Structure 1
Amino acid sequence: MDLKLKRKNVLITGGSKGIGKSIAEAFLAEGANVAIASRGIGALERTKEELGGRVSIIQTDVSSAREREKLIDSFVEQHGSIDVLINNAGGSTGSTAAETDMELFYRAMELNYFSAVHLSKLAVEQMRRKSGGAIINITSIFGRESGGKATYNNAKSALISFTKSLADEVIKDGIRVNSIAPGSILHETGNWKKRLEENPERIQAFVENEIPAGRFGTPEEVANVAAFLASEKASWIVGASINVDGGQSRMNF
């Protein structure tokens, strides 16, 4: 299916590995102009080489407000405009809510929530000049229901709510905002890979008991949904949170 994303200017945060890298590959396959951003220049350079030099790279720390402003400025300077923003950067820290220091809650919100809010606001300013664009926030099924670490899940839940609020505001400007809530995704640099290597029997039992599809998801399966949501094929999808989880979520909606 031709998603008509050729020559669209796409920025992906957390794009040097895992889901972000696969999203970059999906947009490249559609002929888009792709830039990936993350903290580690080494990982960025390796990913650029692995992708045949077809992406531009921007080293940044999206937990810093000033860095976020510089990121959007650098991208627009390089590409002239921004058509698609993928807020994929994130991370999980802490343990139980009662045992986790407040500092970790603040850090989780800055990385997983405020970074996406700020970058979205900056991108909207640019997209309004072209009367169109798409913003996709990568959240989690545990932003929709309980489970996992409180710091991460609180932030992802807030991001799902923000997605709907912003979507309703900017659809009149031709800008669509949606979120993707992945379930348990297995990739080489992720936590599930480490857990699988440490205790394969326990993790296999988790898959059998918790994921109706009977396997982990892949980054590519998330990436395919991201490319679709960014395209005009998804023109009537606004403010949605879409599970990509093999049935893992227990919610009815």
Structure 2
Amino acid sequence: MNLHLTNKNVIVTGGSKGIGASISKAFANEGANVIIVARENPSWLDEFETITFVKGDLSITKERNRVMKEILDKYRAIHILVNNVGGSNGASIEETSLQLFEDAFQLNYFSAVHMSQLVLPVMKKTGQGSIINISSIFGRESGGKPTYNNAKAAMISFTKALADEVIPFGIRVNGVAPGSILHPTGNWQKRIDENPEKMKDFVKKEIPAGRFGTPEEVSQVVLFLSSEKASWVVGATLNVDGGQSYSHF
């Protein structure tokens, strides 16, 4: 299937490793021009001529402004924004400081809100665009660290609100909610290394498909939602989880 993504300009936040790296490579393989925004330059960058790197800490407001200005000074049009950057912190709600909750929201939620705000004027000028927000199945239910889950829940709500606001301008906003995705730099790999038998039991009990998901299985859904093949998908956040989620919406 030709997704017609050749020569599209794509920003992927947190695109240097894990799911973000897979998304970045998938767009590049479709012929898109990809701009990765991350704190560290990925070691694999030289493998792709159409991927460039912009260094930035997107948990900081002034950094988001600087990064977007740097990108827009080079690219007149941005066709796709993938808000993928994220991370977890803290422990139980009682044990986690308010500052850690605020930090989690700056990285996981406000970065997506702000980057979307900054790119919207450019997309409106061209009358087209796609914004994809990477949330989590735990944005709809409990599980994992509350700071992360709360921020991802806000992102799912934001996705629907922004989608309804900007679709009249030809801009589609959707989300992807991954389940447990295994990659070398992720928390699931660390847990497998620490206690492989416990993780086997977790997969057996919690994931009906019987295995962890892969970053590539997430990135392929992102490609579809970003393309005109998904022209009538607006405001949706799609689970990509092998049946793991307990939610029915």
TM-score category, normalised to shorter length? over 0.9
2:2 aligned partner: 2
Tell whether 2:33 aligns with 1:48. no
* Equivalent of residue 144 in structure 2, options 137, 143, 148: 148
Tell whether 2:124 aligns with 1:123. no
Give the TM-score taking structure 1 as reference length. Answer: 0.97
1:17-58 CA-partner distances (Å, limit 9, x unpaired): 000000011111111001111012xxx241312x33431000
* Equivalent of residue 159 in structure 2, options 155, 160, 163: 163
How many residue pairs align between the two structures?
249
Q: 1:91 to 1:166 in 2, by over 3 A?
A: same
* Equivalent of residue 64 in structure 1, options 31, 53, 60: 60
Separation in 1, partners of 2:167, 2:6: 22
Q: Which runs of 5+ in 1 are unaligned?
A: none
Moved runs in structure 1, 4+ residues, more than 6 A? none
Secondary structure in 1 matching 2:21: helix
1:120-174 CA-partner distances (Å, limit 9, x unpaired): 1111111001011000000000001111111000000001000100000000000
> Residue 78 of structure 2 contacts residue 122 of structure 2 at CA under 8 Å; is this kept in 1?
yes
Tell whether 2:194 aligns with 1:198. yes
> Residue 179 of structure 2 contacts residue 245 of structure 2 at CA under 8 Å; is this kept in 1?
yes
Which is further off, 86-95 or 53-62? 53-62
1:32 aligned partner: 32
Tell whether 2:194 aligns with 1:176. no
Secondary structure in 2 matching 1:28: helix
CA RMSD of aligned residues (A): 0.8
Separation in 1, partners of 2:227, 2:48: 24
- Report the identity percentage: 57
Separation in 1, partners of 2:63, 2:122: 17
Which is further off, 159-168 or 77-86? 77-86
User: Residue 81 of structure 1: CA displacement?
Assistant: 1.3
2:233 aligned partner: 237
Separation in 2, partners of 1:82, 1:47: 24
Separation in 2, partners of 1:48, 1:138: 22
Tell whether 2:208 aligns with 1:212. yes
> Residue 48 of structure 1 contacts residue 54 of structure 1 at CA under 8 Å; is this kept in 2?
no
Secondary structure in 1 matching 2:11: strand
Separation in 1, partners of 2:184, 2:56: 22
User: Residue 78 of structure 1: CA displacement?
Assistant: 1.9
Separation in 2, partners of 1:183, 1:25: 21
User: Residue 79 of structure 1: CA displacement?
Assistant: 2.1
Secondary structure in 2 matching 1:76: helix
